Amino acid sequence: MSESEARPSNFIRQIIDADLASGKHTSVHTRFPPEPNGYLHIGHAKSICLNFGIAQDYQGQCNLRFDDTNPEKEDIEYVESIKKDVNWLGFEWSGEICYSSNYFDQLYGYALELINKGLAYVDELTPEEMREYRGTLTEPGKPSPYRDRPVAENLAQFEKMKNGEVEEGKMSLRAKIDMASPFMVMRDPVLYRVRFATHHQTGDKWCIYPMYDFTHCISDALEGITHSLCTLEFQDNRRLYDWVLDNITIESQPRQYEFSRLNLEYTVMSKRKLNQLVTEQLVSGWDDPRMPTISGLRRRGFTAASIREFCQRIGVTKQDNTIEMSSLESCIRDDLNENAPRAMAVLDPVKLVIENFGDTEILTVGNHPNKPEMGEREVPFSRDLYIEREDFREEGNKKYKRLVLGKEVRLRGAYVIKAERVEKDADGKITTIFCTYDADTLGKNPEDGRKVKGVIHWVSAEKALPAEIRLYDRLFTVPNPGAAEDFASTINPDSLIVMNGFVEPSLAAAAPEHAFQFERMGYFCADNKDSSAEHLVFNRTVGLRDSWAKIAD
């Protein structure tokens, strides 16, 4: 981690400070517990920065623990991607990676303890009947007819479940708490269910799998977690978290604290919806640069530092709110404006011929206007160039500061040119712009006092490299696509526009994810999957300014 500035406090840090001051804890131990059923997204980045950041700042520990209790939806691919994302964001977990499945034997033992204490029973209600018996927010539930089974019978039935003698959905182990509780989570929640699925860590050893609420608190206790941080939707679950730990024989008593999850405009954070985008091929994969996944943001060109800065700026509170996409984009603009070298690329080329120019010259151009320490590069300048089609008009008004027929403009880092005439095809489309140049204007203004206000970028037609340019934009057209009846119907048809342009020769060796500011066009990076020396591919990370703000205005 490179940031050394003091981090702002928040209510969680205040709790930790108080716990350390009172002697309740002598050290801090947090954990990040993702379920390996998909790729991590920007919301998880907030939790990663919080849990690992607190451990760093308090010289404590943070575990990476996979909540792997649902083998039907989990995959080792997701495990590997999560490890990669945590490391890429700049964090290291303490000790070995943890898995909830590491504790299946202990969890089974604690389930037996609850049965023996009369606090858990094997239920034979179907899932539909269980929902019916549970009641509503305004009406209490009613007890299952199996709720008062003798302990010995519960033990025998649970053993059958464990031995694979019970079909899926026929039996479950439930906690015996309070069917009249105002909190639905306390109305005899399921602790174990039967699943005949091969687990990516334990294979076929188990055919009963514990539920999250039973597993999570015990895993925290077994690992010596001091502060178990999770998002607000688990606030009511804290009652069950405490109930389980209070009723089993376990030494450690961690405490759960909740903070608001990250909601970001123009995205969906639901793993179910993200998975739908992938499986229905509405995007190219979990790492599609339009996805809010960490791997997608990385592929698009977001830096780890910009994401950490974003998480720091939005802070940690208990109040749910939605963050504007411009806040995230501002972080990457600030980062790349400072750190990205400049380069020239033409996305929609039209040929420009300088009729009075001779042989190709090699010009020296700075890599950053404000950072001479970033060095210089050599750029070939030739008689035939490419410029952006939008940078030329046959006629222009006073506001148009680019090339106009009969007028002058400066080529970035090169000479002043004047447009003399054009050639067009049969459809009236301009194919070539013919110009003259002032040979005495390299690096200086014309000597006769002519003022040339406009500056445009260019590449040499002879030396430039062809490149596929992918212009990524927001995936959805509405700020809250998740609220739509069919969220997929709000996908932005212009979220990806592919153009075939040209880039200056220095970009031949652009490394994957290496960021550049393409002069006047935005921030781009070499694609980390498809780009190669034989076929250059650059992804637009973000424009030079917020184009959506103009739309909103």
- Catalytic residue (one of 13, 147, 239, 261): 261
| Among the listed residues 2, 3, 63, 6, the one whose alpha carbon sits nearest the alpha carbon of residue 29 | 63
Per annotation, catalytic residue among 13, 195, 255, 271: 271
State yes or no: 41 annotated in a binding site: yes
The CA–CA distances, whole Å, from 35 to 30, 71, 73, 75, 493 equal: 16, 10, 9, 10, 32
262 is in an annotated binding site: yes
Structure tokens at 139: 């009406």
Distance CA 305, CA 308 (A): 5
Q: Is the dihedral of CA 218, 219, 225, 230 positive or negative?
A: negative
Query: Is-catalytic flag, 468?
Result: no
Q: Which residue has tokens 């424009």?
A: 543
Strand partners, 469: 499, 538
Q: Where are the alpha helices (DSSP H) in 89-184?
A: 104-116, 127-134, 151-162
User: Mind giving me the DSSP string for 168-192?
Assistant: TTT-EEEE-S-TT-SSGGGSS-EEE
3-class DSSP state of 383: coil
Spatial CA neighbour of 24 closest among 228, 238, 258, 255: 255
Q: Provide DSSP, 189-225.
A: -EEEEE----BTTTBTS-SEEE-HHHHHHHHHHHTT-
Catalytic one of 35, 124, 324, 361:
35
Is 103 annotated as a binding-site member? Answer: no
Tell me if 38 sits within 8 A of 274, measured CB to CB. yes
Q: Is 261 annotated as a binding residue?
A: yes
Instruction: Confirm whether residue 47 is marked as ligand binding.
Output: yes
Q: 120 phi and psi, to 5 degrees? A: -150, 150
Amino acid at 179: M
Q: 259 pairs with which residues across the strands? A: 231
User: How many whole angstroms separate alpha carbon 117 and alpha carbon 111?
Assistant: 10
Q: State the Cα–Cα distance between residues 525 and 337, nearest whole angstrom.
A: 13
The verdict on whether residue 43 carries a ligand-binding annotation is: yes
- Residues 6 or more apart from 118 whose CB is under 8 A from it? 151, 176
Find out whether 67 is annotated in a ligand binding site: yes
Flag whether 280 is marked binding.
Answer: no
How distant, in Å, are the alpha carbons of 14, 88, 89, 207, 443 from that of 37? 33, 20, 20, 19, 57
Is residue 289 part of an annotated ligand binding site? no
Q: Is 37 annotated as a binding residue?
A: yes
The answer to whether 89 is annotated as binding is no
The reply to whether 261 belongs to the active site is yes
The first and second tokens of residue 102, run together, are 């590491």
The Cα 283–Cα 491 span in angstroms is 10
Check the annotation: does 231 bind a ligand. Answer: yes
CA atoms within 13 A on the CB side of 362: 5
Instruction: Show Cβ contacts of residue 143 under 8 Å, excluding neighbours closer than 6 positions.
Output: 133, 179, 188
The answer to whether residues 341 and 78 touch, using CB atoms and an 8 Å cutoff, is no
The token duo for 98 is 């943890």
User: Catalytic: 160?
Assistant: no
List residues forming the annotated binding site for ATP: 35-37, 41-47, 231, 261-262, 269-271
Catalytic residues: 35, 261, 271
List residues forming the annotated binding site: 35-37, 41-47, 67, 212, 231, 261-262, 269-271
List residues forming the annotated binding site for L-glutamine: 67, 212
